[in-house]
Amino acid sequence: MKRFVALSLIMGLMLGATAMVGTAQAAKTIKIAGMKAEGEPETIGMHKFGEYLEKLSNGKYKVKVYPNSSLGKEDKYIADTRRGTIEMCATGTQVAAFHPAMAMMETPMLYDSYEHAYKAINGGIFELLNEGFTEKSGLRTLNMFPLGFRHFYTKNPVKSIDDIKGLKLRVPNITLYTTFAKECGINGQAMPFAEVMSSVDQGVIDGGDSPLSDITSTKVYEKCPQITLTGHILVIHSLFINEKLYQSLPDQDKAWFNEAARLAAEDVWKLVQDMDKAAVKEIEDHGGTVSEPTQAMKDHMAAAAKRTWTMFTDSSNDKTYVPNAQAVFDKAASFK
Ligand code: G3P
């Protein structure tokens, strides 16, 4: 009898241990790649998503965040997510390469404020931009959240557009950005985000434009301490998931992914304005100057933005044409 009890106990423990291992093994790891550093809105959004997904799924999914281009620069990790070697990634208008409407996420001078953008994106623009995107890209967009409005960082003060026309300014390697730079009369040097700091160090560029969160995380203000608050583009990033993986999930799991992404985006929308304020303080505390552009410069950029909008309405260019562009403009205007 004693031997039977001991044997049962051992078997019970073994079964328990097996069950524990089983649970641990069952947790599926979701890798998310991004381009920004720890502490930036994009990376915060990825971590928040992970926390929510783990909680909602009761540990069925674990999320591993790879920030700062640690799985490669944006083009590489987007390709890896499309082919499914990475489950998810965070990026922005880079995905316009597959679906021109996605460039409209960052239409210059479309939004007056974060509040305006939040209402318009959640009030219909998200759906308008995503119409047909998944079919073309093999990716599903789970949310949209802001990284911040773009401002210029330069070595010398910028009082008018003429002060930046002769400079070599970094722009993202995205048609929307190169077109807008051209319309502004700026000498845009297209390159991925991860190359910005080395290019400043080597004198390949004289400055560029970025959200304040990028300007502080890279500490580019140490080299280019003049920040001009033009706010010409609101950078919007999203979490994308490989569509085949998404479709393979049970309905309950799909709902967890959707809800985790929605909650993560809500958190970032709430955080970003305080992050902007903290960034201005950091730049000024380190000797940088943060100034408003002149009205003439604002007007110049607004006119350049409006000319850039025509890339979306020009049906003769199928690389940039967006059939429902006017609907996007109208939707944005309706929330002003
Ligand atoms: O959404 C596109 C945006 O991320 C491009 O800007 O400066 O992050 O390369 P940047």
Distance (Å) from CA 244 to ligand 1 centroid = 26
Residues touching ligand 1 (Cβ under 6 Å) are: 92-94, 106, 172, 193, 210, 235, 237
Could you give the CA distance from residue 221 to residue 279 in angstroms, rounded to a whole number?
Answer: 11
Weakest mean pLDDT among 14-28, 234-248, 252-266: 14-28
Q: How many CB atoms lie within 10 A of CB 50?
A: 20
pLDDT tens sequence across 275-313: 999 999 999 999 999 999 999 999 999 999 999 999 999
Could you give the CA distance from residue 196 to residue 44 in angstroms, rounded to a whole number?
Answer: 21
From 42, 43, 89, 93, the mutation candidate for ligand 1 (largest count of ligand atoms within 8 A of CB) is 93
Helix axis angle, 41-56 to 251-285, nearest 10°: 150
Residue 210 clears pLDDT 80, i.e. is over it: yes
State the chain's mean pLDDT as an integer: 93
Contact 237, 117 (CB under 8 A): no
| Closest protein CA for atom 5 of ligand 1 | 172
Q: Which residue has 């902007």 as its token pair?
A: 276
Reduced 3-state DSSP string for 40-69 = CHHHHHHHHHHHHHHHHCCCCEEEEEECCC
| pLDDT (mean) for 226-234 | 98
Residue 21 clears pLDDT 60, i.e. is over it: no
- Side chain identity, residue 286: H
| pLDDT (mean) for 202-217 | 97
From 235, 238, 239, 240, the mutation candidate for ligand 1 (largest count of ligand atoms within 8 A of CB) is 235
Contact 238, 134 (CB under 8 A): no
Atom of ligand 1 nearest to the CA of 35: 8
Tokens describing residue 100: 């021109």
Distance (Å) from CA 193 to ligand 1 centroid = 7
Residue 16 clears pLDDT 70, i.e. is over it: no
Burial of 81-91, coded b for 16+ CB within 10 Å and e otherwise, reads bbeeebbbbbb
Looking at residue 297, the DSSP 8-state letter turns out to be: H
From 129, 174, 220, the mutation candidate for ligand 1 (largest count of ligand atoms within 8 A of CB) is 174
The torsion angle over the Cα atoms of residues 174, 176, 178 and 183, rounded to 10 degrees, is 180
Between CA 244 and CA 248, with CA 246 as vertex, the angle to 5 degrees is: 70
Q: What is the pLDDT of residue 25?
A: 58
For residue 140, list its beta bridge partners. Answer: 241
Q: What are phi and psi of 326, to 5 degrees?
A: -65, -35
Could you give the CA distance from residue 240 to residue 33 in angstroms, rounded to a whole number?
Answer: 10
pLDDT tens sequence across 122-171: 999 999 999 999 999 999 999 999 999 999 999 999 988 999 988 999 99
Could you give the CA distance from residue 232 to residue 194 in angstroms, rounded to a whole number?
Answer: 21
Atom of ligand 1 nearest to the CA of 92: 1
Distance (Å) from CA 195 to ligand 1 centroid = 12
For residue 150, list its beta bridge partners. Answer: 211
CA distances from 97 to 92, 175, 276 (A): 11, 9, 29
